[in-house]
A = this chain, B = another copy of it.
Amino acid sequence: MAEGKASVKDVARVAGVSVATVSRVLNDSATVSAESRARVLAAVERLGYRRNAVARSLRTAATGTIGLVIGDILNPFFTELARAVEDEARAAGYAVVIGNADERPDRQDDYVRTLLERRVDGLLLCPTAEVTPLVRDTVASGTPVVFLDRTLPGLDVPTVRADGADAIDELVGHLLRLGRRRLAFVSGPAILSTGRERTDAFAAALARRGQPVRPEYLEAGDFQAASGRAALARLLDLPEPPDAVVAGDNLMALGALDEIRARGLSIPGDVALASYDDVPWFPHLDPPLTAIAQPVQELGRSAVRALTDRVEGREVEQVTLRARLVVRGSCGEPMTRRHPDARDTGHGDGTNDEGSVTA
């Protein structure tokens, strides 16, 4: 109704009670007579009073806020993750402050720093490719931190992540079955679990099937599109270029697509392409991209649960979920339906289903 600068003191005066009573009504913390309650509520309404969360946080030493630092806000994987985190946090009564590290340790640190200064109750971190002193100190200092999607070596932090080893194994089998023999992998930074482990799983899958693992087919990028493109350029310039490439995330797959198209090569004719991460438009690409889908919704929700558990003093353990393979046409699988009359039911983690967002 009125100006927005009223404080408890004003409310108390208008309602003819003390500030303590106002506070008690606002938090319904103790017994207050119906009479007082009504008068306070009326005064609040009349003054357009809005509680000052800053002062409240100062006094209670809790902000009701968790920080989420994601790797790259332009990466739909993180975007979807942020959405899931937000939903679950809101349900648990927390607000989320999102920070975008842009895959750069310095920006990550910037965000961690301001989030800590703002006294978030806990921190959800998708760590960038480096163990910075700040991150080390932060986890050491007892601030509730949970790693999401990725881990860093040498730090004892609860982590929520998806294991794609089985899916990668399946994908390798798929490619070999389709006659591909020169399989390449473009991984993320080796220090990140999501970089190292995916490469390892890939190599293990080849080995398990008695296939050689050629070091020149193991490329590394930084999870950004440009690095995917560069990696593809190096691979395609090899004397014996690969006939199948698996990209370590969806952005590098996009970069790979760029390079393959730019060279006038066809997919899957000249080279098969598959991607880690499944995103809504993959089914609409030419050809539809075979991908490994992570349970993004569950990842986000579990992470929030783990963090709030830590914040509220409960014990938490590591959470590992499973990713799974979604076969489409980009590896040479015969396309059974050129113009499908039913929806491709590739996704399946509960929400997004091919570009149709939110139920």
Q: Which residues on A are within 8 Å of B, measured CB to CB? A: 1, 3-4, 48, 50-55, 57-58, 63, 65, 72-76, 79-80, 82-83, 86, 90, 95, 97-98, 100, 102, 110, 113-114, 116-119, 137, 141-143, 224-226, 229, 251, 254-255, 257-258, 261-266, 280-281, 284-287, 339-343, 352, 354-359
Q: Closest CB-CB distance, A11 to chain B, in whole Å?
A: 15
Contacts A83-B74, A285-B285, A358-B226 known; A118 to B53 CB distance under 8 Å? Answer: yes
Whether A100 contacts B73 by the Cβ 8 Å rule is: no
- Report chain B residues within 8 Å CB of A141: 3-4, 48
Whether A55 contacts B52 by the Cβ 8 Å rule is: no
Bound CA–CA A355/B3 (angstroms): 47
Whether B286 contacts A116 by the Cβ 8 Å rule is: no
Whether A258 contacts B76 by the Cβ 8 Å rule is: no
Bound CA–CA A74/B86 (angstroms): 12
* A to B CB contacts below 8 Å, 21 in the list: A1-B137, A4-B142, A52-B58, A53-B118, A54-B57, A54-B63, A54-B119, A76-B76, A95-B97, A95-B118, A97-B97, A102-B358, A225-B355, A255-B355, A258-B354, A258-B355, A258-B356, A264-B339, A281-B285, A284-B285, A285-B285
- Report chain B residues within 8 Å CB of A4: 116, 141-143
